[in-house]
Every structure is written in structure tokens, then in C-alpha cells.
Chains A and B, each alone.
Chain A
Amino acid sequence: MSLSKDVQALQSIPLFAKIEPAKLKLLAFTSERLTYMRGDELFHQGDIGDAAYIILDGEAAVLVDSPNGAVQVATVGTNDMVGEIAILCDVPRTASVKALSDLVTLRIAKDSFFHLVTQFPQVAVEIMAELAARLHNTTQQLTEVRSRLAAPEG
């Protein structure tokens, strides 16, 4: 439960790998280490986003509401970041995140996150790369679905 351990954890995340430890220490100090129990929700789809979370330990499910109930679209685990989209582009949470095990997170408040991004362009670039990758992924999936829909039914 110490700050130095949090800093070590942050260093092992690719996004922050290139940032000097002193800056990560400030990030850790201004963030809150939060423990969730299995089954707790970090946030719910449609909520106002006020923070991003870095998972320090454990596993969580990303769920999207659908007419047939919540659908799990991904799982995230140690060193993953969730919830940054809602604070980046000021939209409501696009998905829910729910702890699949006991979960330790570092909660980075919106202000701290922007402080980081504006101070360290490399972080912004990393986030851009990550988002671009996700977009690419989504586009690919969309194309797949489209082509499947266009194909004559069996």
C-alpha cells in the first residue's frame, strides 16, 4: 500500500514507461488507490466520467448494455487502463466495468489525467496510438459484420 510500489506498478505500464519516476510519483500521489471487491462496479454505462482507472491487480469485465442485457465485450487485467475515453472526450461512460476478482486500482481524477497529458506529449502520443489501434480493431470488426450481412443468407 505504499506510494513507491504504486510508482513501480505505473512504470511497468507501457503507457508510462518513458516518463521519469519523479513525475510518476506525483501522478501516484495525486491519485487514489482504490480496492474493489469481486462483483463491485467501477462505473456504469451512461454515468458522467470523472476519472480513469489503472488496474494494479486483478481482473475486470467490460460490459455493454444490449436489448438482451449486459454483454461482456472484453476483459481487462493488471496494467490495463479503463475509463479514459469518457474523460478525454467528455461523453458519458460508453461501457460498464465490473470487478471479476478482488481488484486493486489507481484512480486518476480527470484533472490529474489532463495534467499528465498536457505535461508529457509522449503520454498523449501513446494514448493516441492505443486509441488508433482500438479504432482499427473496431473498423475491422465492423467490416466483418457488414460483409457477413451483405452475404446471401445460407
Chain B
Amino acid sequence: MSPTLFGYVRAHSWRQQLVVLAVTLCSLPFFYLSVDLPKTIVDDALGSGTGPREFFGVELSRLDYLWALCLCFLALVLVNGGFKYWINVYKGIVGERTLRRMRFDLYTRILRFPPAHFRVMSQGQLVQMINAEVEPLGGFVGDAYSLPAYQGGMLLTILTFMFLQNPLMGLAAIILYPFQIYIIPKLQRQVNELGRQRVRQVRVLAERIGETAAGVVDIRTNAADAYEEARFSDELGKVFFIRLSIYKKKFLIKFINNFLAQLAPFLFYSIGGYLVLQGELTIGAILAILSAHEKLSAPWKELLAYYQMLWDTQIKYEQVMAQFEPPGLAPVEDVTTATPSVIPVGGPLDALGATIIEDDEPILNAVSFSIALPAHVALLGPPGPDKQALLQALVNLRKTRSGVFRLGEEDISKLPSRALGHYVAYVGNPAQIFAGSVRDNLVFGLKRRPPEDVTRTARDQIEALASGNSPFDGQAEWIDYGAAGVEDTAGLEVRLTAVVEAIGLDGEAFTIGLRGALDPDRAPALAERILEARAALADRLDADPGLARLVERFDPERYNANATVAANLLFGTPLDSSFDIELLSQNAFVLRVLEADGLDVALRQVGYELAATMVELFADLPPDHEYFRQFSFISADDLPEYRALVGRLAAEQIPSLSDKADRQRLLALPMKLIPARHRLDLIDDALQARLLTARKRLREELPATEADKIAFFDPGAFNRGASVQDNILFGRIAHGQANAQARVATMLTAVIDELDLRAAIVAAGLDAEVGVGGVRLSLTQRQRLALGRALLRRPDLLLLDDALAAFDRAEQERLRDAVLRAMAGRTVLWAHQQPGWADEFDLVLRLDRGRLVAVGPPAEVMGEDDRDAAD
């Protein structure tokens, strides 16, 4: 990238800059005319006699001439406005394109950073630079050439006019310019230096915020929040004082500018006045010069502002660029070719005196070996960075200081990384997972075939190319089916299932799928099958009275004692927060339904009794007692209010209660009541019957506008608001029945297997979103996913950097066997901490503090001691 902002602008937008410049210059004559025309109107149309006037060769009466000139004036206003509009929009486009290009360039550089660079460059800094720091550059780019041209042109025009009026006065107007040109940059330089400091300081802030967000658990569990707050305050203080100095200097510049600008009128009045008194100048001329000087100040100010801006942006540009030029930046590679060059994966894999030095520490020390491929190789040795460095050097993530790694006689560091990525897979610990579904993450390693057709709209494509962005559509099909050894989507699905089972992700995907919701419009067939499962489960329950009492199914005609009052009333799942159980008592429509037959009063009476009971039960407990969270309907904070309410009101007063807050408070309480669980006998048969009526009315009277906010329970339909599991169960697990949860779960699984639904639910689970960085998955789930991602693409060389450390011993062994089995006939290099596994590998490389200690078959390399040490 160019070392200066102007260089960058010229390199990527010189054509557009020329267009802006040309149009700007074209607009100047029209601007001049619009300034000049009023004078003609005043002097020519209104003054200088009453005779007819000539207008472009046509003779017009004085009045018609005035009309004509006024219409011209109007036309010029429109033309000037039009020019300004066009120029502004075009400048905006130029600026935004450059900004987009710059951000894209910086982003691609992040992808090419050597991994070690991320130790000095935090995520917060990168975000701050790409998002915030380059932002003002975009605004400047549009003005880079056109502003000085336009404002400079105006300045010159007006100065010419002044010199023509009176050279002495013209001189007076500009006599202080040299002084300004001398002193302002000096001050400006100081401001710039402060600006640099400020940029650095804000980066530190960004870094601290990033670190705090990532480490909030450790900060709080170390009770270090006060310390962190103090440290952050210090950083904010630094920004404050830098800013303060900037303000002082900046406004000093402004003060000097203003003072100098006002010195000119001083000269006009004094020298001009003297000349007038001497009779050498007319008063009219002084007035004309003063008005011209007035006009002069606007472009001059603009030019000075531009000058300041110029330095400011140039600094920002340099500072950002400097951070994106780390030593060891990977070279740019052509991404447009569909098939990368062939890598000699047949081997052998050789190391010839390979040495890696980082931070002046030798990490790998003159390592030499030769391994015939394919082979399963274990990298063993005491914990240390050497094994990781070796593996990363094989995928060009690290560079050797001296010596080489060679694959089939080719120097690996000379091989294009992208081609290496096609043949070699690397799984670190922990491996990174990306936002999207589990499935998206599994096929992530296959998304390397740039789509051949342009699938974006023409507009998107043109803009992407104009900004030097990726020519490929990110939404298009990127999957390289060949890499997975399949032909099409169907084949991939089979392979995906096999990999998911091999890495033990099927069980987890099954659980995720069961607990997740399903859109019946997108998977109508599966929704239908789940309804079959619902029926099958119902049959099982009906067949055995011992089982039947474990579940209370949803029946539109019956009150469900194991569900909350709110769920009984709504008889569905809320799809919008306005119908959430917590907020149901505040929902205007629900309130109307309840009020229709006085049910609100009845429920408030229940609420009153409930409040009285809670106050009685929990009154003596300290507010932080565990029971409040576990059992109470009323939080410890709200208890005093309810206590006061119960003390203030008698039960008989509830029907006539008028206070809005009290009404709402009492109605909210019974909504969470589950009769079978709480055993408070507050919802009697009569009330149940009334709630059933209200349930029907609620569904019938639900306004069309609210219709998509509730998914009603319907025995014959899939409920889109409920999980797959709840859809099969279609009821609530009964309270008070021993081991009901476990027994129902067993039954559910049995039904699913009987109907052969497991695969479909696993597939649904694979479609679940994992969140940014995979936050919704556990560490082991993420690690399984990374293994699956690597295995799915069938790499010729699989590098594993302690990839199973997150698992327990038994699972580690299971996964080890699965991975080695999947990689049979291909090469695995596996750094791990299990000497006892040596026999599972063809070869063992033993490293100790960067030196190769031994290499050979396990029987030769491993002594008896090592095996014992393993157990």
C-alpha cells in the first residue's frame, strides 16, 4: 500500500478525482455569473436610464429586461445548486469507495498476518483502526483535490478583482497571508503530534475494553473490578489531557487566524481612510473592497481548514498503515483460480536443519529428519512451543530462520499457502469456530471454490469491483464437493453424517435438535413426522396407566394442572415478547379478555391470597436467602411492597381496587402458579372452568394484527414456538411423580428411534446457530466441530496440535482411534501429551526444548520408562 494518503488516493481514484476536478472547474464560471448578475440587475436594469435594453441581440423593454435577468438569476441558482448536488454525491461515492477499498485492503492484510503478530496486536486495536480511524479518511478523499481547486479558484478570482480596484488595498488584504502561512503550520505540527498521541491512546482504550469484555469472569472472581475501574480511569484521564492540549492549541490557531483576518479591515479603515481624506480614494471603492474582503475570508478559511485536515488525515493514514505492515506478512495470492497448484503430498517430508527463532529465543533448533509418507506420526516431548512451531511451519504459519522443511523436494515456505490449505488441515487447541450453524462450520473447510458465475446483482458487482473488493459473492455456493469426495449435496449429507458420528457429535446434535425449535414451513416433512411421534408417544402413554400419569397432555377442553395459569390461559407459546408469561398481566388484549367475565377480579383475589401466603412463608428469611430465588413468587426486593399491600387491604376490597399499580401487581402473581407443583389449592374447579372459557375467547378474539404473536397448542398441528421435544410431548411432565423426567426422556427416545427420526433430529441440531465464536457450544463441542471440519475435507496431511486436550481420557482415546481410522492411508502429524499412545503411530518424533531427540518407530524410540510414565 502507498506510504501516503495522496499516493493511495491517486493510485485508486485518479480518474474520479479528475472528473470531480473538471466538473468543479466547469461550475466556477456559473458561480461567477451568479455573483455578477445581481450587479447587472442593479446597475443595468434598474439604473442607467429608461430606454430599451439589448439582451443577447434581442431588444427588450426595461421591464421585460428585468424579468429576463431575474429568470436568468433563478436559472443560475438552479444550475449552481445542481452542480453542488452532483459534486457532493460524486465526492461521497469517491470517498466511500476509497474507504471500502481501504477497509478491505486492511482486512485482507489481517488474513495474511503472521500468527505471532497477534501477540502484539490486539483485537480491540484492529477493530478500532479499521472501523473508527479510517472513517474520516473517506470524507477527506472526496475533497482531496477538488476543494483546494475550487476554493483556491474563488480566492484568486476575488483577489484579482481587488487588485483591479486598488493595488494597494489588494496588497493590504493579503499582506498578512505570508505570516499566517508561516506560523500556522508551526502550531499545527504541535497539534498533529498531540493527535498522534491521542490516536495511540484511544487504541489503548479499545484494547482495555476488549480485554475487559473477554475477561469479565476473571476480573469479578478476583474482585479486581475496582482496580480495573481505576486503571481505566487513568487511561481516560490521559485522553482528557491530550484533548485539552489539542483544544488549547487548536483554538489558539483559530484566535490568531481571526485576529489576522480582522487586521486587514483595520488596515482598510486606517490606510483607506487616510487616502479618502487625502482625496486619493472614493468611499465607494473602500466599501467595495470591504465587501470583497468579506467574500475572501470564506475560501481562505476553507483552505486553512483543508490544510489542517490534510495533516490530520495523513497522520491517521500513516499510523494505521504502519500497523498493517508487520514483518513476515504473507504474500498476496491469486484467489481467482479455481484449482491451485498441485502440492507433492506423496512426500517424503524432510526437515533440513530447520531452525525457528522468535523473540530471540530458539524455538526449534536445527531439526533434521526424513519421513516417508503416508505415515501416522506422533510428536512427543515435554510441553513447550516447539511442537506447535514445527506443525505451523508445515502450513506456512511460521517461518524458519535457517534450514527448510521440504515436502516431496519442494521447499514448503515457497509453496503458496492457499494451495497448502487445499491439501493440509491443521487443528489447534482450542480451534476457532465461526458464527453460523453447526453445519456451516463443518463445511467451512470446503468453502474454497470461488463461485464461477456472478450471482450478485449488477449494482453490487460493479461497486465491489470499483472498490477493489472481492469479485465473488459471499452468499453463493462455495462448497468444493470434490474435496469431500462427493458429487453433490446429497452425497455431502451422507458424508457429513458419517463424520459427525465419527467425532461423536451426533449425540450432542441430537440433544440440540430436540431442544431447538423448528420452522414447519421450511421443513414440512419433518414437522409431519414429529406429529407422528406425538401420536406414537400418546399411544404408549395411553396403553399403560403407570406411564399415563407421568405426563399431562395439552387438551383444549381441559385445564392442565401441571402448567402455569398463564400457559393455560394462552394455551400456546408466545412468539413475541408482549405475550411472555412475565408480561402477560400487562398485555392490553389479555386484560380485555379477562375483564370480559370478571376473571381479572377473580385472579386478583387469587393473587391476594398468594401474596398473603408468600409474606407469611418468607417474611422471616434474610433477603439474600436462597429460597427467594428457588421458591418464592415474590423476589426479596418486592416482598416489602406486597407485605404493605396485604396489610393495607382486606380481601373484600380487591373487587373494587382502583390503584393501577396494585391491580397489576396482584394480577401478575397467579400467572406463574402451577397447581400441581405449588399445592396451594388456589385454582378451584370453578376458576378452572372460567379460565377455559377465557382461553377460547382469547383465541377467537385475537386481533389479526396480533395473530403471529402466539403459536396456539393444537393437537393436530406442529407448534412453531415450542421445541421439537415439547412438540412430541405436547404436554407437561407431571409434578410429584418419582423419576418422571428420566422415564419420559427414555420413552421419548424410544419413540424417536422407533419412528427412525433420530437422523432427522440430528440434522435439525446441525442447523442450530452456534453464536459468534461458537459461544453457544461447550469447549468440547467446539473442538469436536473443528476435528469434523478437518476430517470432512479429507486432507492428505492432517496436523493436530494437542487437539484433544479438552476431553477426558476415555473420550480422547475414542477420538484418537476415530481420527486415525479416518486418516488411514494418509498422513497424520499429531503433537500430544500421551507417551502411552506411541504404539498407535507408525513413527514417533521426540522433541525436547526445540531439539529433535529421537525419530523412528515407537518400538525403537520409546523406552520402558516412557511407557510407565504414561500410566
Interface set of A (CB-CB < 8 Å, partner B): 1-4, 6, 22, 25-26, 28-30, 32-37, 40, 42, 111, 115
20 contacts between A and B (CB under 8 A): A1-B679, A2-B680, A3-B678, A3-B679, A3-B680, A6-B679, A22-B617, A25-B617, A26-B617, A29-B631, A30-B627, A30-B630, A33-B679, A33-B736, A35-B736, A35-B738, A36-B738, A40-B738, A42-B738, A111-B626
Verify B631–A30 contact, CB threshold 8 A.
yes
Verify A2–B681 contact, CB threshold 8 A.
yes
Within B157-175, the residues touching A (CB, 8 Å) are none
Verify A35–B737 contact, CB threshold 8 A.
yes
Q: Other than the known A2-B679, A36-B738, A115-B627, what 4 A-B pairs have Cβ atoms closer than 8 Å?
A: A2-B681, A22-B616, A29-B617, A29-B678
- CB of B742, distance to nearest CB on chain A (Å): 12
Q: Which residues of B contact A34 (CB under 8 A)?
A: 736-738
Within B595-633, the residues touching A (CB, 8 Å) are 616-618, 626-627, 630-631
Q: Which residues of A contact B617 (CB under 8 A)?
A: 22, 25-26, 29
Q: Which residues of A contact B737 (CB under 8 A)?
A: 34-35
| A36 to B546 alpha-carbon distance, docked (Å) | 10
| A3 to B674 alpha-carbon distance, docked (Å) | 13
- Chain B residue with Cβ nearest A37: B546
- Chain B residue with Cβ nearest A30: B631
| A25 to B736 alpha-carbon distance, docked (Å) | 17
Q: Which residues of B contact A115 (CB under 8 A)?
A: 627
Interface hub of B618, B626, B681, B736 (most chain A Cβ within 10 A):
B736
- Chain A residue with Cβ nearest B627: A30
Q: Considering the complex of A and B, which 10 residue pairs feature the smallest CB-CB distances, nearest first?
A: A3-B679, A36-B738, A2-B681, A26-B617, A34-B738, A33-B736, A2-B679, A30-B631, A35-B736, A35-B737
| A150 to B680 alpha-carbon distance, docked (Å) | 59
Verify B616–A25 contact, CB threshold 8 A.
yes
- CB of A68, distance to nearest CB on chain B (Å): 28
| A3 to B675 alpha-carbon distance, docked (Å) | 10
Q: Which residues of B contact A28 (CB under 8 A)?
A: 679
Q: Interface size bucket, B side? A: 10 to 19
Q: Is B739 located at the chain interface by the 8 A CB criterion?
A: yes
Q: Which residues of B contact A6 (CB under 8 A)?
A: 679
Q: Which residues of A contact B678 (CB under 8 A)?
A: 3, 29
- Contact status of A32 and B680, CB under 8 A, knowing A22-B616, A26-B617, A37-B546: no
- Contact status of A3 and B681, CB under 8 A, knowing A25-B616, A35-B738: yes
Q: Which residues of B contact A1 (CB under 8 A)?
A: 676, 679, 736
Q: Which residues of B contact A33 (CB under 8 A)?
A: 679, 736
Interface string of B738-749 (1 = CB under 8 A from A): 110000000000
Q: Which residues of B contact A2 (CB under 8 A)?
A: 679-681
- CB of A51, distance to nearest CB on chain B (Å): 12
Q: Which residues of A contact B630 (CB under 8 A)?
A: 30
| A99 to B380 alpha-carbon distance, docked (Å) | 56
- CB of B830, distance to nearest CB on chain A (Å): 38
- Chain A residue with Cβ nearest B546: A37
Interface hub of B679, B681, B737 (most chain A Cβ within 10 A):
B679
Q: Which residues of B contact A29 (CB under 8 A)?
A: 617, 631, 678-679
| A3 to B617 alpha-carbon distance, docked (Å) | 12
- Chain A residue with Cβ nearest B630: A30
| A4 to B679 alpha-carbon distance, docked (Å) | 8
Q: Which residues of A contact B735 (CB under 8 A)?
A: 32
- Chain A residue with Cβ nearest B618: A26
Q: Which residues of A contact B631 (CB under 8 A)?
A: 29-30
Verify A32–B736 contact, CB threshold 8 A.
yes
Q: Which residues of A contact B676 (CB under 8 A)?
A: 1
- Chain B residue with Cβ nearest A23: B620
- Chain A residue with Cβ nearest B625: A115
- Chain B residue with Cβ nearest A36: B738
- CB of B770, distance to nearest CB on chain A (Å): 33
- Chain B residue with Cβ nearest A27: B617
Within B678-698, the residues touching A (CB, 8 Å) are 678-681
Q: Which residues of B contact A30 (CB under 8 A)?
A: 627, 630-631
- Chain B residue with Cβ nearest A22: B616
- Chain B residue with Cβ nearest A5: B679
- Chain B residue with Cβ nearest A34: B738
- CB of B128, distance to nearest CB on chain A (Å): 48
- Chain B residue with Cβ nearest A112: B627
Q: Which residues of B contact A35 (CB under 8 A)?
A: 736-738
- Contact status of A4 and B738, CB under 8 A, knowing A26-B617, A111-B626: no
Verify B681–A40 contact, CB threshold 8 A.
no
Q: Which residues of A contact B546 (CB under 8 A)?
A: 37
| A25 to B338 alpha-carbon distance, docked (Å) | 74
- CB of B15, distance to nearest CB on chain A (Å): 75
Q: Which residues of B contact A37 (CB under 8 A)?
A: 546, 738
- CB of A71, distance to nearest CB on chain B (Å): 24
- CB of B632, distance to nearest CB on chain A (Å): 9
- Chain B residue with Cβ nearest A29: B617
Q: Which residues of A contact B681 (CB under 8 A)?
A: 2-4
Within B314-371, the residues touching A (CB, 8 Å) are none
| A40 to B739 alpha-carbon distance, docked (Å) | 9
Q: Which residues of A contact B680 (CB under 8 A)?
A: 2-3
Within B704-761, the residues touching A (CB, 8 Å) are 735-739
Interface hub of B617, B630, B680, B739 (most chain A Cβ within 10 A):
B617
- Chain A residue with Cβ nearest B739: A40
- CB of A81, distance to nearest CB on chain B (Å): 17
| A90 to B738 alpha-carbon distance, docked (Å) | 23
- CB of B817, distance to nearest CB on chain A (Å): 32
- CB of A57, distance to nearest CB on chain B (Å): 13
- Chain A residue with Cβ nearest B677: A32
- CB of B611, distance to nearest CB on chain A (Å): 14
